[in-house]
Amino acid sequence: MPQIITARRLLTDAGFVDYPVITVDDNGLIAAIDVDRAQSSSDDTLTPSLFDVHTHGGVGKDVMTATPADFSELQRFYASHGVAHYLPTTVTDSIDTTLHALERIADNIERPTPANESKPVAIHLEGPFLSHAKRGVHPAHDLLPPTIKLFDRFQQAARGHIALVTVAPELPGAVEFIEYTRASGIRVSLGHTNATLAEAQAAIDAGAASATHTFNAMRPLDHREPGVVAAVLNSPELFAELIADGIHVHPEMMKLWWRSKGAKRALLVTDSMSATGMADGDYTLGGLAVTVENQTATLTDSRSTLAGSLLTLDRAVENLQHFIGVPLAEAVRAASTNPAAMLGRNNVVSVSIGAPAHLNRYNAEGRRIATYLHGHELTS
């Protein structure tokens, strides 16, 4: 039987629709978007679902080691926070461990996704092509320069599902690597990098599409050698991730990022790890020991090193509104439309006739209060 969803406003690909009446067919697809003021009694806003392109796990589950049951639990958790699609993201490990992890992740991508779970659509390979100087939690002994031969091994294990790769642009062979992946339709994100301005700009000219968790694990901005951060902020075509938890990046730097990237190139991500949604304690990120204290995750043997985040993407959307005053519609686009555009997968978050009815409902204060997957409201 068709489902009817109403609200005060609907955010679509083209803009706002006032007093929308959305009809969802028996297949969970949007059959019609009509307008009827009489049927819309709330002040709520319906928006596209969220799309996290950088997440390592949550609720005690790590994508590097997850079983099918683990992935299902993780995907229900993501969905409960408004995320309908995501990119499972690796961390640096040995080549063999990475190959096996990619095979398991590919298996999960190719399995049918239950209607109440977030869907994995591709893989984000974060490591091993990272800088020793800005490696963060990534183990130094497993870092490697980017080579086409090794990437092809990874992509073969992933059965073609790698869509995004983080690369430090100053590494030998990085420019050639970016040109190769770009020609194959794979996006490169600049990250974990000590690159100079010239090195970063060469990578952008070669076709890099984005920046990984901007400001974090990057050469700091400097007035004499502006470095990679200046290249990221001053390149209008480049997308740029940000972890908006108030821990990784100060709100004043968030303002700088937003003014530079704006509503079309800013990407909200979580960089969440297995401890997300859990209590303080000891966890893992890939093969690394992580301690969570006061809801901040750090390496157990290096407590000054942040180890991913405990952020959920719906909270990131709220934080962007409250920390720096970004309007709801633009904050949502940074976590939905923009990541989809960066990957060239706009259909993933489309709100249009024939698209899956994946929606979030926000109240007048900009807080997510409900999520719909295939037109059905999720229950906790």
The DSSP annotation for 73-92 comes to: HHHHHHHHTTEEEEEEB---
pLDDT at 344 over 90: yes
pLDDT in the model for residue 204: 98
Among 43, 271, 280, 282, the active-site one is 271
Instruction: Tell me the C-alpha distance between 121 and 209, whole Å.
Output: 18
pLDDT in the model for residue 287: 79
Report the side by side order of strands in the sheet with 83-88: 50-55, 83-88, 119-120
DSSP run (H or E) holding 153: helix 148-157
How far is the first Cα of the chain from the last one, in angstroms, to the nearest whole number?
A: 23
Question: Smallest Cα–Cα separation from 306: which of 318, 294, 315, 317?
Answer: 294
pLDDT at 97 over 70: yes
pLDDT in the model for residue 303: 79
pLDDT at 219 over 70: yes
Q: Return the CATH architecture of domain 49-349.
A: Alpha-Beta Barrel (3.20)
**Pairing outcome for strands 296-299 and 302-306:** antiparallel
Our answer to whether residue 271 is catalytic in this structure is: yes
pLDDT in the model for residue 240: 98
Mean pLDDT score, 242-248 = 96
- Please, are residues 271 and 309 in contact by the beta-carbon 8 Å criterion? yes
Mean pLDDT score, 353-363 = 97
pLDDT tens profile 74-91: 999 999 999 999 999 999
- CA angle at 120 for the pair 33 and 15, rounded to the nearest 5°: 30
Sign of CA dihedral 14, 16, 22, 27: positive
pLDDT at 298 over 90: no
Instruction: Tell me the C-alpha distance between 248 and 251, whole Å.
Output: 10
- CA angle at 138 for the pair 135 and 139, rounded to the nearest 5°: 105
| Cβ neighbours for 372, distance < 8 A, ≥ 6 positions apart | 5, 357, 358, 359, 360, 361, 378
Q: Which residues of 355-369 are buried (b: 16+ CB within 10 A; e: fewer)?
A: bbbbbbbbeeebebe
**Beta pairing partners, 167:** 190
Question: What is the location of CATH 3.20.20.140 in the chain?
Answer: 49-349
Q: Which residues of 234-262 are buried (b: 16+ CB within 10 A; e: fewer)?
A: ebeebbbbbbbbeebbeeebbebbbebbe
- Phi, psi at residue 183, to the nearest 5°? -65, -25
pLDDT tens profile 183-204: 999 999 999 999 999 999 999 9
Instruction: Tell me the C-alpha distance between 370 and 6, whole Å.
Output: 12
Mean pLDDT score, 348-369 = 96
Instruction: Tell me the C-alpha distance between 134 and 216, whole Å.
Output: 9
pLDDT at 1 over 80: no
Instruction: Tell me the C-alpha distance between 223 and 241, whole Å.
Output: 23
**Pairing outcome for strands 368-373 and 359-362:** antiparallel
Of 280 and 79, the structure prediction assigns the larger pLDDT to 79
pLDDT in the model for residue 265: 98
Q: How confident is the model at residue 380 (pLDDT cuts 50, 70, 90)?
A: low
pLDDT in the model for residue 296: 87
Which residue's entry shows tokens 């086409």? Answer: 148
Mean pLDDT score, 139-143 = 96
pLDDT at 278 over 70: yes
Mean pLDDT score, 216-242 = 97
Question: In this structure, how many other beta carbons lie within 10 angstroms of the beta carbon of residue 274?
Answer: 28
Q: How confident is the model at residue 294 (pLDDT cuts 50, 70, 90)?
A: confident
